[in-house]
Amino acid sequence: MKYINFQNTFKNRPLIDIREVKNIFPDFNSRRFYEWQKKGYIKKLTNSFYIFSDHNPNESETCFIANKLLEPSYLSLEYALRYYNLIPEIVYSITSVTTKKTKTIQTVFHNFRYQTVKIPLFFAYKIIELNKTAFKIAEPEKALLDFLYLRSDLKNKDDLEELRINRDVFKEIIDVKKMEKYLKLFNSVTLTAKIKKLNKILC
């Protein structure tokens, strides 16, 4: 296959998925990926995914890529908290939760970090459509619960205060009743105690 034909077929996709390539072109020779990578046409993210070298993914495309590199997953934790402006810090890794094993995928343009949650806790995410791309991200209440649940180092009031959660944003976007409903599904005494402490700080 000529590269120009391949490029014309996939140029509008934020991610080149090998499975999709082989579905469209059943006789595609996988050696082409290696050859085109050597020529600088494409960049490898994982064994299954590539991007075009001249394409710099925007934020919504990066979020889409995060969902695809490890499935099932949705954006959560620090990245989602920053997305909702709940925390002030710049987040350097794209963080997600998954039902698969915890892992970090280092790519040419971002690090994608995935943390494991049990299947019953894989819920309360929404699909955002932006710039012709769709991605899954935790609802703000669930992102906060995921974060506190998985951060065993956050134990006391001082630890929670150091997160510098934006009180005004919290009051504006967090549905306390919804969060309490989700909290019960975690069935965690430790997490419940953290949320009580956080409510005292912010409310």
Residue type, 49: F
Tens digit of pLDDT at every position of the chain (203 positions): 899 999 999 999 999 999 999 999 999 999 999 999 999 999 999 999 999 999 999 999 999 999 999 999 999 999 999 999 999 988 989 999 999 999 999 999 999 999 999 999 999 999 999 888 999 999 999 999 999 999 999 999 999 999 999 999 999 999 999 999 999 999 999 999 999 999 999 98
In three-state secondary structure terms, 74 is strand
In whole angstroms, give the CA distance from residue 141 to residue 20. Answer: 34
CA dihedral defined by 162, 191, 201, 167, rounded to 10 degrees? 80
Q: What is the residue whose two structure tokens read 């014309």?
A: 8
Structure tokens at 163: 């997160």
Pairing of strands 49-52, 42-44: antiparallel
pLDDT digits (tens, 9 = 90+) for 143-154: 999 999 999 999
The pLDDT, as a whole number, for residue 1 is 84
CA 54 to each of CA 12, 57, 75, 122: distance values in angstroms, whole numbers, following the listed order: 12, 10, 26, 35
The pLDDT, as a whole number, for residue 203 is 80
> Residue 110: which of 184, 45, 191, 187 has the closest Cα?
45
